[in-house]
Amino acid sequence: MTGRLAFVESPVQLLNVLEWAYADALGRPRPLAVVPPQPARGQAPGEASRDGGTHGTGTHGTETHGTETPEGAPDGEAPAPRAPSLAHAGLHVVVLAPTDPMSRGQLRRMAQLARDEGVTVTWQDARQGKGAVVRTLGELAGPLRAADRVIVGDPFSRYVQLLLTLYGPRRVTVVDDGTATMEYAAQLARGERLVRWHRRGNLGPRELALAPVTSLARRKLAPSRHRTIEIFTSLPVEPPPGTTVTVNDFAWTRAAFGPPRLTRGADLVGTSLVETGVVDPDEYLRAVTVLARAHGATRYFAHRREAADKLHRVAAETGLEVVRPELPLELTARRGPVGRTIVSFPSTVVHTLPLALAGTGVKVAVCEIAPEWIRETASPRARGFLANVVGSATRTERLEFG
């Protein structure tokens, strides 16, 4: 198969492109299912790694607190099949590299994982240097016109929207870029312009200048007589008219990594809701402190967009060990070690981690955002959107904050 071109701008997008290629190689879609953990890549069933676990050392080689216990697969469940090599998928991934160092570092490591799977990966510094945008558009116009299917990780990306104005592919697949997939599907169904959920309604000068591009791109990201739209997602998405929703159950992640060793304590998952202007920073720090004490947490997995000064406060005021994962959290947790309980605020991981960690015994819990934490300047849609993220997370435990 040829002519499959993917544009990614974040580590999670690249992970989900690999999941899509894996699912396609297996000839799916298939329903959500609990699949037992599998041996790590290159490891025989039942073989332990050098440190007594099953794969890797977790994030940055950090040590975990408490006693670690290996988890086995439930009795009577068959192993998940390994797909054919992704080298035969005809997939070309183009990384439209962001500028922040954390995202670039994670993307470099994810790009190497993709290459290890036989996938062609091209790195484009599309945002650095004078003339980068024009140069990138010129280099990608040919491959885009030749592509039979285009896979995008962020339909709200102005860069992706600009690229899609060059050529309208016959087949488009949208993979998850966080909870934005839920908003994309809802806006597509309502016929609205594509706007990120945390942004306020008024258009600024930049948005007004790009409005024609956004309008055209929305048509290129919508189904028509000449275009099919697939949404490949682990989130609860109602298919907009004319689209196909395919389930992402993280089969590649489970087949390639783990099962993880479990610690006796809990891990907290950070969020960038402060950085996006939704949550008050002082309220957030207070919530992290309360949750850490209530659940015996020892580590705080930072979101790649969290600011350094906020993370310094988290470490100083809570005593938590702040860990900046080298890979998306789904892979980090699957490789382990990881806590028996993972506590998160509303984010994509409350949907993805239960799938990636299926069969391991890890419990994922979500803490709702209290109304008083939300800043007055936040988008009016923020509260309802966050509540929907929590309410639709059926595989997690709901926590009451107090």
**Which pLDDT tens digit goes with each residue over 300-312?**
999 989 999 999 9
- Pick from 194-198, 308-312, 382-386: least confident: 194-198
pLDDT score recorded for residue 128? 83
Residue 395 one-letter amino acid? R
In this prediction, residues 271-287 reach a mean pLDDT of 95
pLDDT score recorded for residue 210? 54
Phi, psi of 227 (to 5 degrees): -145, 130
CA dist., res. 365 & res. 9, Å (int)? 28
Query: Residue 55 — pLDDT band, cuts 50, 70, 90?
Result: very low
**Which pLDDT tens digit goes with each residue over 345-357?**
999 999 999 999 9
In this prediction, residues 104-132 reach a mean pLDDT of 92
**Which pLDDT tens digit goes with each residue over 20-34?**
999 998 886 543 333
pLDDT score recorded for residue 257? 92
| 63 has pLDDT over 90 | no
The residue ranking higher by pLDDT, 190 or 253, is 253
In this prediction, residues 253-257 reach a mean pLDDT of 92
pTM of the model: 0.82
| 343 has pLDDT over 90 | yes
pLDDT score recorded for residue 400? 72
Cβ partners under 8 Å of residue 35, min gap 6: 77, 80, 249, 251, 254, 358, 359
In this prediction, residues 59-85 reach a mean pLDDT of 40
pLDDT score recorded for residue 373? 95
Query: Residue 401 — pLDDT band, cuts 50, 70, 90?
Result: low
pLDDT score recorded for residue 88? 83
> For the chain, what percent of residues have pLDDT higher than 70?
79
pLDDT score recorded for residue 72? 36
| 196 has pLDDT over 90 | no
Backbone torsion region of residue 375, taken as left when φ is above 0, otherwise alpha when ψ lies between -120 and 50, otherwise beta: beta
pLDDT score recorded for residue 116? 93
The residue ranking higher by pLDDT, 252 or 202, is 252
The residue ranking higher by pLDDT, 165 or 349, is 349
> For the chain, what percent of residues have pLDDT higher than 90?
52
CA dist., res. 64 & res. 52, Å (int)? 13
pLDDT score recorded for residue 381? 79
Burial of 393 (0-12, 13-18, 19+ CB in 10 A): buried
Residue 198 tokens, joined: 């945390």
Cβ partners under 8 Å of residue 72, min gap 6: 259
Residue 211 one-letter amino acid? A
Residue for token pair 């332990």: 48
Residue 88 tokens, joined: 């035969």
- How high is the mean pLDDT of the chain? 82
| 133 has pLDDT over 50 | yes
User: Are 32 and 355 contacting, i.e. CB atoms less than 8 angstroms apart?
Assistant: yes
In this prediction, residues 120-141 reach a mean pLDDT of 88
CA dist., res. 288 & res. 294, Å (int)? 10
